[in-house]
Structure formats: structure tokens, C-alpha cells
Amino acid sequence: MKKVLTIGVFDLLHMGHVELFRKAKALGDYLIVAVQNSEMVEKYKPGAHLVCSTEERCYMVGAIRWVDEVVTYNSSDEIVGLLDFDILAKGPDQNNEAFQRALKIAEERGIEVVTLPRTEGISSTDLKSRVAK
Ligand code: CTP
């Protein structure tokens, strides 16, 4: 059984996130989604202004039909080193320092890395500004 991992914040779950899960699941048989803990998002991305708590974000992600398991994480390098999986499905925007370290760990562990394209025209930030208008 091929296990796929994808990771992220997933605040205000939207079509771009669901499309990511659909494409990631198609790469294997079992999809694990790691949701970043709010304290860490606020620490490393102070402009993020999270609307949903860690628990709310996990609940929504877990309700999507392509998601088999939801876990939480603090840093991408930590979770990529910890879990048992075969393929890391990442977004093209996932390239900060911790993610660079995560990619190195994936390489060392023989994990295949697949970069999936983003869905154009939608993001959590965009949804927040739509609501604000
Ligand atoms: N993603 C995607 N298509 C979008 C938005 C996000 O495929 N339109 C993917 C990202 O590439 C990443 C994952 O979803 O792999 C989690 O991204 P996240 O940062 O939580 O979502 P965004 O909507 O980009 O959030 P923000 O606007 O706060 O950056």
C-alpha cells in the first residue's frame, strides 16, 4: 500500500485544498494530511491571521472524501522525519527553510517527492479579503 503525505495550514478550507487532496490521493492508496498547529503558524507566519483553530482545521480536512488520516505537526522537517509514508505531495509554494530541510530528509529516506500545481484564483488569504469586502 502506497502512503502519500501532504502538509499545510488549511485555514478556511477551499477548493484549492480539496483539489490538492484529490490529486495527492491519486498518487497512491492512502492519504495522510498533516495540519500545522496554530501556535507554530502564528510564530512563523505572523501575517497569517488564522480564522480556524487547529481542531477546526483538522475536522474539516478529515471530512474530505480523499483524506484517510489527519495528524498535526509543528515543523515540516519534524513530521517528514517522523511518519511512515512513501510519497510527499507538496505545493509549488512550499519552499521555506524548514521545508528545504524536510525535502532533504525525504531524499535521505528514499521518499518520492511530487510537486502538484496550485489551483488558480483561490487561497485562504483571498477568501479573507473577499469576506472583508
Ligand atoms: N494550495 C493549492 N491551491 C490553492 C491554494 C493552496 O494547491 N489555490 C495548496 C498549497 O500549494 C499547499 C496546500 O494547499 O500545498 C496548503 O496551502 P495553504 O498555505 O494552507 O493554503 P493557501 O490557500 O495558499 O493559504 P494562504 O493564502 O494563507 O497562503
Instruction: Give which of 42, 43, 21, 49 is closest to 125, Cα–Cα.
Output: 49
Average pLDDT over residues 13-42: 98
The contacts found for 81-85 with CB under 8 angstroms, 24 or more apart, are 81/105, 81/109, 83/5, 83/32, 83/34, 84/3, 85/3, 85/4, 85/5, 85/32, 85/111
Q: Is 114 in the pocket of ligand 1 (CB under 6 A)?
A: no
pLDDT, one tens digit per residue, over 58-106 is 999 999 999 999 999 999 999 999 999 999 999 999 999 999 999 999 9
Q: State yes or no: pLDDT of 54 exceeds 90.
A: yes
Q: What is the best residue among 118, 125, 128, 131 to mutate for testing ligand 1's pocket, by most ligand atoms within 8 Å of CB?
A: 118
Options 2, 25, 45, 128, the catalytic residue: 45
Q: Is 3 a catalytic residue?
A: no
